[in-house]
Amino acid sequence: METSWPGLRAQCLVLEDEAILALNKPAGISVTGERHDTDLVEMAAAQGETLYPVHRIDKVTSGLVLLAKQLPAHGVLTRQFTKRTAEKAYLAVTASTGLPDRGVIELPLSVGRKNRVRIAAPRESIHRAGDTWRVDSRDVLAGKNYPSVTEFATVARTDSHTVLALRPITGRRHQIRVHLAWIGHPIVGDPLFDKSGAFERTHLHSWRLTLDAPWRPNGLLELEAEPGADFWRPGSATITGDPRQLLSSASELMTGTTPTAS
């Protein structure tokens, strides 16, 4: 992985204009604010470039990161994440089979010991109703919890893995990772749930972002970042098929109708 800011910036560039910089971040580097860890914002600052993160993705997650070069643009964009009007899509590879073609995970999150994100209910209370996973309100743990919804569509299957396209309707910390793991379909190489260190990366990728951008000619930012070849190789396995065809299938699936949680 490129370690200098000029090299990383050039290698990962998705889009740049007068107001924003969009990068396809490699897995293994932080966006900002990580203790004892060099991050993108810090690297840029060391080279005299001031950037304002519009959102964050986890260090272990690859893909789209949107950074503002101007404070007015930063305000316009961050408000859309706060109001949940920003459209987001992710790709993930799970170390499991048996997921439906489409589904909804409607499970509240809370923060447990050592600041760990968890489902705000006992694991055994999670049940599947059709293609929706949820818990009854009587089973939700007392204390602060956060309603959280993730929609997904299955893109490809192997004998041991499933490729998913996911849309986090809410944007909680670790939402996709915790939702999938707690319904029994953990993301390959996710260190939150796999401490073996057997995988080179976590197979979660920030794939698409769509936001209003009044300074753009069409008033929109429509961003897409393809995952690298390593994404399609979970451990010793390989997801067969042309990645571009798989992404095309994912795109079609994400425009379809996912069962609505109720």
Mean pLDDT value across residues 187-198:
92
Is 260 a member of any domain? no
Tell me the pairing of strands 20-25 and 52-53: unpaired
Q: Report the distance separating Cα 52 and Cα 32, nearest Å.
A: 9
- Where do runs of H (alpha helix) occur along the chain? 5-12, 40-46, 71-82, 175-182, 243-254
Q: Is pTM beyond 0.85 here?
A: yes
Q: In this model, does residue 260 exceed pLDDT 60?
A: no
Q: Are residues 100 and 75 in the same domain?
A: no
Q: 222 and 113, same structural domain? A: no
Statement to judge: residues 68 and 161 lie in one domain: no
Q: How many CA atoms lie within 13 A of 139 on its CB side?
A: 14
User: pLDDT tens across 5-42, in order?
Assistant: 999 999 999 999 999 999 999 999 999 977 667 799 99
Rg (CA), the chain: 18
Band the pLDDT of 258: cuts 50, 70, 90.
very low
Any domain includes 120: yes
Can you give the residue range of the structural domain that contains 175?
91-202+234-254
Which candidate, 131, 128, 129, 110, places its Cα nearest to that of 119? 110
Q: Which helix (H) or strand (E) holds 86?
A: none
CATH of the domain at 26: 3.30.2350.10
* Residues 140-166, mean pLDDT to the nearest whole number: 95
| 8-state DSSP, 227 | P
Looking at the structure, tell me whether residues 245 and 133 fall in a common domain. yes
Burial class (CB in 10 A: 0-12, 13-18, 19+), 48: exposed
**Mean pLDDT over the full length of the chain:** 93
Predicted confidence (pLDDT) at residue 262 exceeds the cutoff of 70:
no
| Pair 110, 76 in one domain | no
- 3-state SS class at 244: helix
Phi and psi at residue 42, in whole multiples of 5°?
-65, -40
Dist. CA 208–CA 157, nearest whole Å: 21
The amino acid occupying position 207 is W
Residues annotated as part of the active site:
58
151 and 247 share one domain? yes
Residue 262 lies in a domain: no
Q: What is the pLDDT of residues 93-152, one digit of tens each?
A: 999 999 999 999 999 999 988 889 999 999 999 999 999 999 999 999 999 999 999 999
Provide the pLDDT confidence category of residue 257 given band limits of 50, 70 and 90.
Answer: very low
Residue 90 has pLDDT above 90, yes or no: yes
178 and 64 within one domain: no
pLDDT given for residue 114 in this prediction:
85
Number of domains in the chain: 2
Are 165 and 247 found together in one domain? yes
Residues 152 and 242 in one domain: yes
- Is 123 part of a structural domain of the chain? yes
Which is more confidently placed, 176 or 254? 176
